[in-house]
A and B are shown apart, each in its own frame.
Chain A
Amino acid sequence: MNLATLVATLLTLAIFSFLYRENPFFRFAEHLLVGLSAGYFTVIAVQGTLVPKVLEPLKAGDFWVAIPFILIILILGRLTEKTRPASRIPLALVIGAGAGVAVPALLQARILVQLSATMKPLHSAASVLVLLGVITTLIYFFFSREHKGWWGRLASVGTWYLMIFFGATFGNTVMSRISLLIGRLEFLLGDFLGLIK
């Protein structure tokens, strides 16, 4: 067993100790994770982005990259009260450009294509169920008319669809979380104790 396995084992046990109650070992492991993640992200961002995309082009005489670089520095203005207004310029650019890029793309991918997928010929029971689900769920979220009478009954069918969706999502969540537990126990039983070959 190497040092890395030992460290990973101790940290895994420290995190698992939360199942008993909150304690200093758990808090140490938790803070270590946050600190390491931030440090790792910084190194990756500097090495993988700042150096090849900004510093190297600047060295090579491409001064256009100085503009985004200045904007990066302006974002750091948020750190003090006095310089905070300067950070609004790059933030406005990021939000504006981000929204401009995202709106047409999302409209196409998540609304238009999804709508056309619902409008396909009703050849099978599945497509009828999908159509019924879309209509009744939309009715459930239509609040301008009181959910009474036949309208209310359709809305309650929509509620059933939502409940089935939540149930399926929760079932998958359980599966996902158990997978994480399996991963840790495989590590403890295999890499640490050597009980699994």
Chain B
Amino acid sequence: MRTKPRTFAFLAVFLAVTFPLLYPLNISDRVSPEAVKFKALVDSIPGGSLVMVSFDHEASTIAEVRPLGTVLVRHLFSRNIKIIGLSLFAEGTAIGNQVLSLVAEEFGKEYGRDWVFLGYRPQFQAAILGMGENITNVFPRDYYQNVTSELPLIKGVSNYSQIEMVVSVADGDLGYAWVDYAHSRYRARVSAMVTAVMVTSYMPLYASGQLAGLVNGLKGAADYERLLDKPGAAIRGMDAQSMAHLMILLLIVGGNAAYWWNRKK
């Protein structure tokens, strides 16, 4: 008997998510000021400049981090900004490379000239600090085993001083590490795109200006897609997100009402 309300709750959330995915409701949504600022930040970077995108996440959060990474890479390529991709989390390596490859193909970008993917390096402290001195020392070869120093994009790039911004697409606290080491020591401009569960931890860094930009989870990705006028996976998911939140609110209210009703009896 005890499993009944539990089963009902699962079913209710399942329906609340499934229905809007099958029949989009187009619920209007206010764009967050953080997303507006982040887009403006990318817009202020001159075409032809370099941005480093670090895919610092596991595969389990792919539903949130892939839309974030995709919308960012789309925006960067649309402005002809060159990308150095990497990962400080082993599982983020394949996802990061997949996101970059797919979007690069969409925009007709050439590997080695418009973008490179350096792959994964363990010990994030050493990797971030090492790249502040020399990127090719930390990554002598890229993800595809090319000699990094021979890639046209990397020639003439030694450290963060030639990179306009570092963006950490993170589901944990690796974005913090970029602030601790790349920003504090080498004055690199650092931004973060993080899963919603992490955003309250990152807010103090954003408020203090240590993070130049911050985008919050699937909602942030949807906002970014709206700002670019390129609806994608994130916007599609936001209807389901809103309905699920509404359902959870109803379940909380209903659960409390049932509790008080039973207590009265």
Contact = CB atoms under 8 A, between A and B. Distances in A.
Interface of A: 19, 37, 40-41, 44-45, 48-49, 52-53, 56, 98, 101-102, 105-106, 108-110, 113-114, 116-117, 130, 165, 168-169, 172-186, 189, 195-196
Interface of B: 10, 13-14, 17-18, 21-22, 59-64, 90-91, 93-94, 119-122, 125, 129, 140-141, 143, 176, 179-181, 183-185, 195-201, 204, 207-210, 216-219, 233, 236-237, 240-241, 244-245, 248
A159 to B, nearest CB: 17
Given A48-B119, A179-B217, A182-B63, A108 B184 contact: yes
Contacts of B125: 98, 101-102
Contacts, number: 143
Given A44-B90, A195-B22, A113 B197 contact: no
Interface of A is mostly: helix
Contacts of B204: 114, 117
A168 B63 CA distance: 21
Contact of B180 (A109, A176, A186): A109
Contacts of A169: 197, 200-201
Most chain B CB atoms below 10 A, which of A37, A117, A173, A181: A181
Interface of B is mostly: helix
B74 to A, nearest CB: 19
A179 B234 CA distance: 9
A85 B90 CA distance: 29
Contacts of A181: 13, 17, 63, 244
B207 A117 contact: yes
A108 B140 CA distance: 31
Contacts of A106: 180
Most chain A CB atoms below 10 A, which of B21, B143, B185: B21
Contacts of A183: 62-64, 237
A173 B201 CA distance: 12
